[in-house]
């Protein structure tokens, strides 16, 4: 998890390209938190395809956004469909009384 106000405040400097490469190489799930002067497009780029980012002008509002997200995760589920089955069509998935069909 990374949090930033968008300013460099005497921390160790990292190259963005090295950070993005490390995230991709290691398959890291990234949660980016940004406030104040943070650049939303940079947050999105660093979060990448496997991560999420949250931005708000005020640090005080980040907690509410993060709490809503973590609460939603508590009600989530993952379905692992083996490759041999995933290629068959139509594919019907059911979970907790809900279903979806993939043609």
Written as one string, the DSSP assignment of 6-70 is SS--S-----HHHHHHHHHHHT---EEEEETT--HHHHHHHH-TT-EEEEESSHHHHHHHHHHHH
Instruction: Split the chain (103 residues) into runs of 10 and give each run's mean pLDDT.
Output: 59 72 80 84 83 85 86 80 81 82 85
The pLDDT of residue 84 is: 80
Give the count of beta carbons closer than 10 Å to the beta carbon of residue 32: 22
Domain spans of the chain, in order of start: 2-102
The pLDDT of residue 8 is: 60
The pLDDT of residue 15 is: 74
């Amino acid at each position: 998890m990374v949090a930033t106000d968008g300013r460099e405040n005497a921390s160790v400097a990292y190259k963005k390209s090295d950070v993005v490469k490390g995230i991709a190489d290691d398959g890291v799930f990234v949660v980016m938190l940004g406030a104040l002067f943070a650049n939303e497009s940079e947050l999105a780029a660093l979060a990448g395809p496997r991560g999420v980012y949250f931005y708000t002008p005020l640090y005080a509002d980040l907690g509410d956004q993060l709490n809503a997200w973590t609460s939603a995760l508590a009600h989530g589920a993952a379905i692992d469909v083996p490759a041999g089955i995933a290629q068959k069509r139509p594919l019907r998935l059911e979970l907790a009384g809900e279903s979806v069909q993939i043609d």
